[in-house]
Amino acid sequence: MKYLLCCLAVLLTACGGGGSSTSTTVPTQVINNTPPNKLSLAWVDYRFDDSSLNINGVTTTSYAGMTPMVDHIKKVGYNTIVFQTEVPVNTDTGQLDLNAVPAQPRTLPKDFWRVVDYAKSQGLVVWIMIAITDGLDNGLTSTSVGVNFNAATMFDTITTYDKSVAVLAQQHNVNGIYLGDLQVGFDQAPYLLYWQTLFSSIKNVFNGKLSYMASYDTPVYDLVDYISTGFNFPLMSTTTTNVTDIVNSYYHDTNGLDIVNYVQTLSKSHNNKPLILDYFRASPTDTGVGLNVDLWNLIFNGGNFSSIPPPNYNLLVAKISAFCNISSVITPVAGIGFDEYIPWAQAAWVQNAVPGSANYNWYLFDTLGFELYNHTQAETAINQCVGNFK
């Protein structure tokens, strides 16, 4: 999961997955270097190194720890992998802050580019997200900064950092970069000149595609190649496994929003740019379709396990199927993104946790949330979905 601060020094927080799934190793030669017309994206939280060992005794974020996850993602059927990284910014100064968590420096994993090269060698399209955060895994918005915060300094910081990553991304044949997500307030008109400078700087050193993710309209979309819109909506107040009913709810969700019209209008208002319906999440503990319980609070703030709804995997599968169905009727959809895969959750201390232990809280958070690596039912539905998304 995105932007969770780990409470234990040995943990990293993020979004994760892992456990008993097996992967079939595929040949290391480049299989296909031609990007597909439509992208099916698997999001992977790969923001910094974690020293934990997985159940095979391998460091989770190392090359040896990550390549089985890449193989697994390819086997599920995705054609694109997004490695989520971050540029951490001090909320008081706007300057780079790589050590807000001293035990977990926010620098790229040492094997990051080797893993990128491996994913490319397997024929996967590779994107990178450079999320703008506060260094504590929280998204940076205009309301989350101090009174002396300097926006010009922040954008200078972001531009310098992102450009250094983009130079290497170009060298490693990365296909695209997300230049932030949900920078609420900072992604509106008063700051557009800063964004223009950022995008221009990246385009000077990187030939791939660019995107930005939001769940609302933003003038930053005028600068992108792909409009990425977060595609998680409160669809129905009750649970159901009827795919047709869920599909119909996209035309009138619990807030009365016609989501299909909304995203199509979003594209039209920005010169008909292609859409990525992104960061889609499906949890087996939904209390309604798209109504997620706050697992973090239920599990970690008091251990109120009795309030966690029993997992409903049939609902999870139906929600995924409906998402895939609706994506086929929205124009112009060029990509669908699924959230997410979490390397650190492959750690043995998570996967081997026993009931009653503190570590078991993390096991529950991994298996009952929207992490995908251990959710066979979800990945089976995704496999069918991405196989038809051409």
- Domains of the chain with CATH codes: 39-388 (3.20.20.80)
Structure confidence at residue 358 (pLDDT): 87
Structure confidence at residue 6 (pLDDT): 38
Q: Report the alpha-carbon distance of residue 268 to residue 365 in Å, rounded.
A: 39
SS3 letters for the chain?
CCCCCCCCCCCCCCCCCCCCCCCCCCCCCCCCCCCCCCEEEEEEECCCCCCCEECCCCECCCHHHHHHHHHHHHHHCCCEEEEEEEEEECCCCCCECCCCCCCCCCCCCCCHHHHHHHHHHCCCEEEEEEEEECCCCCECCCCCCCCCCCHHHHHHHHHHHHHHHHHHHHHCCCCEEEEEECCCCCCCHHHHHHHHHHHHHHHCCCCCEEEEEECCCCHHHHHCCEEEEECCCCCECCCCCCHHHHHHHCCCCCCCCCHHHHHHHHHHCCCCCCEEEEEECCCCCCCEECECCCHHHHHHCCCCHHHCCCCCHHHHHHHHHHHHHHHCCCCCEEEEEEEEECHHHHEHHHHCCCCCCHHHHHHHHHHHCCCCCCCHHHHHHHHHHHHHCC
Cβ neighbors of 146 (< 8 A, separation 6 or more) are 91, 92
Digits of tens for pLDDT over the chain (390 positions)?
443 433 333 333 333 333 333 333 333 344 445 567 899 999 999 999 999 999 999 999 999 999 999 999 999 999 999 999 999 999 999 999 999 888 888 999 999 999 999 999 999 999 999 999 998 878 899 999 999 899 999 999 999 999 999 999 999 999 999 999 999 999 999 999 999 999 999 999 999 999 999 999 999 999 999 999 999 999 999 999 999 999 999 999 999 999 999 999 999 999 999 999 999 998 999 999 999 888 888 888 877 778 888 999 999 999 999 999 999 999 899 999 999 999 999 999 999 999 989 899 999 999 999 999 988 999 999 999 999 988
Neighbour-count burial of 310, counting CB atoms closer than 10 A to its CB (0-12 exposed, 13-18 middle, 19+ buried): exposed
Structure confidence at residue 34 (pLDDT): 59
Tokens of 199: 């995008």
Structure confidence at residue 35 (pLDDT): 61
The amino acid sitting at 42 is A
Structure confidence at residue 68 (pLDDT): 97
Q: What does the radius of gyration of the chain's CA atoms come to, in whole angstroms? A: 20
Structure confidence at residue 25 (pLDDT): 35
